[in-house]
Chains A and B, each alone.
Chain A
């Protein structure tokens, strides 16, 4: 059985009022995600691939329970996540390059803060902190203000913190966005390690090479809808991810998306 699955997710946003529109006219709505049904296994890396505005962030936010789908449900171990959100949130780590840490505090303080928010056992949290700080080479900077750290260091802190509560599922929106080649390399290694330890990794990207390198399965998202889903090997057989993507893109009307 799939550890995590989504059933017909739909999310729309109201569009801003256009000029000349009457004040109380019903706002037009933009469909950000539509009829999205996915299912994931433990120990796999799944990639959502799509251009800007395809609905990747919206889909991942719904799966991370940050926003609620209008239609459809999300199941964790066969159970609707809405039934016990608190328990579900303890099982997921969510990371985006938009997610930041309060620069006023040190990595050490921040880790303790999140461990408490996740209601972790104090001893367990302490041990986990040492392991993660060691793993991401944070120990040296643990008592420095996050504001004073470099971008790469900050990213490493975020990574460590998203794992503080030992989540089974890690959701990662555009993991290498804004990182240099060395830092990206480290993040990629980090994701592969997670997979090795039987975590489920869910990521979004618009970079073909990244998806091909890391993901076991890739879903192509266009206009909020899943257009194709296959294993990395299958895409290779069909001439590569890039080729398949643009064939689909043309078929869907290209720029008119």
Chain B
């Protein structure tokens, strides 16, 4: 297609050299970072301090401390509970070596909230040079267990203060027995699809209306249409340029979030296994969204008209992505609904314990189909003089 490269280059030049465009594209990502950096701590507090009251907690530990002896940590915990004033009580379970073998299983089942796995004579050896570890097992899927775990781990350095605790000696190891960290994943499973949709779609809102409806409005489109360049080269050039600019913008937004994750979702880690499929969905949905944006922009008479259609669509998409992560849409038929399936697939990847292969495959196929359909459709609109010269 002759002329495609020329149009693509010119559009890119426009997007990447106009400072107003640059602000619209890249400021949100930077703001997110700044905002969450300052707001993150508030969120953390809301997220990680559930008001747990009048509850009985169960803590088990390897009992090689001798008759009537408690590990320092446990006595400190007990003291905290009695003076806590929330009506919470702590039950302690000293385990024999044999019982210890099945302790992790019991934590999973919920018999114990936390199991402290000390190596024999832990406290004595802390005084020596040898590196010591303290494994704290808990079920991250349980709010109650996580609460006790957080309390326990925050008391470790306090309890072993006198033992010259340092990075090497007596370092507590966080050992979550559940396969995933339930609460943070829950938050992530709605936050990530929601942010993806917003980040991908909002740059399109600032790019697409300008791209065609704006050219119609300003009368520059006809100047382009009388050149020998084919209509499909024009629309492809525009689609590709917007894709590039919106991806760059979304990437900056994502980096903004990525670096804020520690303060938004403490303890949450995006594994490569889920990050990679999410990236694929991300790229595919960008093409679909750009196609939708271009089609709407080609259809609209003015920037204003295009903006109002796209604004409505963004709201709808945000609602959809919220719904798809709150409600259970894991049934396969849902994977066949375009746009909707993107966020529900992302949230499934983050939520479920087994990777949703089939759901993901269907989503990819459906999105690719929808994207080609939309791109085909906007090429058609470009050829339609009824649309291009609408009165």
* Cβ-neighbour of B226 out of A92, A102, A103 (below 8 A): A92
10 A–B contacts, CB within 8 A, in A order: A13-B391, A64-B226, A85-B228, A86-B230, A92-B226, A98-B219, A100-B220, A101-B220, A118-B227, A161-B223
Residue of A nearest to B217 (CB): A100
- Measured between alpha carbons, how far is A119 from B230 in the docked complex, in Å? 12
Number of interface residues of A (CB under 8 A): 30
Binary flags per residue of B221-244, CB closer than 8 Å to A gives 1, else 0: 011111111100000000000000
- Measured between alpha carbons, how far is A61 from B391 in the docked complex, in Å? 14
Number of interface residues of B (CB under 8 A): 23
For residue A90, CB closer than 8 A to chain B, the reply is: yes
B2 & A101 in contact (Cβ 8 Å cutoff): no
Residue of A nearest to B233 (CB): A117
* Cβ-neighbour of B227 out of A89, A96, A98, A103 (below 8 A): A89
- Measured between alpha carbons, how far is A127 from B228 in the docked complex, in Å? 21
For residue B124, CB closer than 8 A to chain A, the reply is: no
Chain B residues lying within 8 Å of A94, measured Cβ to Cβ, are 222, 226
List B171-207 residues whose CB lies under 8 Å from chain A: none
A66 & B225 in contact (Cβ 8 Å cutoff): yes
CB distance from B16 to the nearest CB of A (A): 12
- Measured between alpha carbons, how far is A48 from B271 in the docked complex, in Å? 70
Chain B residues lying within 8 Å of A244, measured Cβ to Cβ, are none
B228 & A117 in contact (Cβ 8 Å cutoff): yes
CB distance from B382 to the nearest CB of A (A): 13
B228 & A104 in contact (Cβ 8 Å cutoff): no
- Measured between alpha carbons, how far is A98 from B385 in the docked complex, in Å? 17
For residue B3, CB closer than 8 A to chain A, the reply is: yes
Chain B residues lying within 8 Å of A13, measured Cβ to Cβ, are 391
* Cβ-neighbour of B223 out of A65, A100, A103 (below 8 A): A100
Chain A residues lying within 8 Å of B3, measured Cβ to Cβ, are 116-117, 119
* Cβ-neighbour of B385 out of A67, A89, A102 (below 8 A): A67
For residue A190, CB closer than 8 A to chain B, the reply is: no
Give residues in A with beta carbon < 8 Å to B: 13, 61, 64-68, 85-87, 89-90, 92, 94, 96, 98-105, 113-114, 116-119, 161
A104 & B6 in contact (Cβ 8 Å cutoff): no
Residue of A nearest to B389 (CB): A67
List B224-267 residues whose CB lies under 8 Å from chain A: 224-230
- Measured between alpha carbons, how far is A85 from B2 in the docked complex, in Å? 14
Since A66-B385, A113-B6, A117-B7 are in contact, a sample of 14 more A-B pairs with Cβ atoms closer than 8 Å, ordered by chain A residue number, is A13-B391, A66-B225, A67-B385, A85-B228, A92-B226, A94-B222, A96-B222, A98-B219, A101-B220, A101-B223, A104-B14, A117-B3, A117-B228, A117-B229
Chain B residues lying within 8 Å of A113, measured Cβ to Cβ, are 6, 10
B6 & A116 in contact (Cβ 8 Å cutoff): yes
- Measured between alpha carbons, how far is A114 from B228 in the docked complex, in Å? 10
- Measured between alpha carbons, how far is A105 from B7 in the docked complex, in Å? 14
Answer whether A100 and B2 are a contact pair too, CB < 8 Å, given A65-B226, A117-B227. no
CB distance from A3 to the nearest CB of B (A): 18
- Measured between alpha carbons, how far is A94 from B229 in the docked complex, in Å? 15
CB distance from B185 to the nearest CB of A (A): 45
Residue among A65, A92, A113 having the largest count of chain B Cβ atoms under 10 Å: A113
A117 & B225 in contact (Cβ 8 Å cutoff): no
For residue B69, CB closer than 8 A to chain A, the reply is: no
CB distance from B8 to the nearest CB of A (A): 12
For residue B98, CB closer than 8 A to chain A, the reply is: no
Chain B residues lying within 8 Å of A64, measured Cβ to Cβ, are 226
A119 & B228 in contact (Cβ 8 Å cutoff): yes
Chain A residues lying within 8 Å of B225, measured Cβ to Cβ, are 66
Binary flags per residue of B209-221, CB closer than 8 Å to A gives 1, else 0: 0000001001110
Residue of B nearest to A14 (CB): B386
For residue B273, CB closer than 8 A to chain A, the reply is: no
B220 & A102 in contact (Cβ 8 Å cutoff): yes
Residue of A nearest to B7 (CB): A117
For residue B18, CB closer than 8 A to chain A, the reply is: yes
Binary flags per residue of B366-391, CB closer than 8 Å to A gives 1, else 0: 00000000000000000001000101
- Measured between alpha carbons, how far is A21 from B25 in the docked complex, in Å? 45
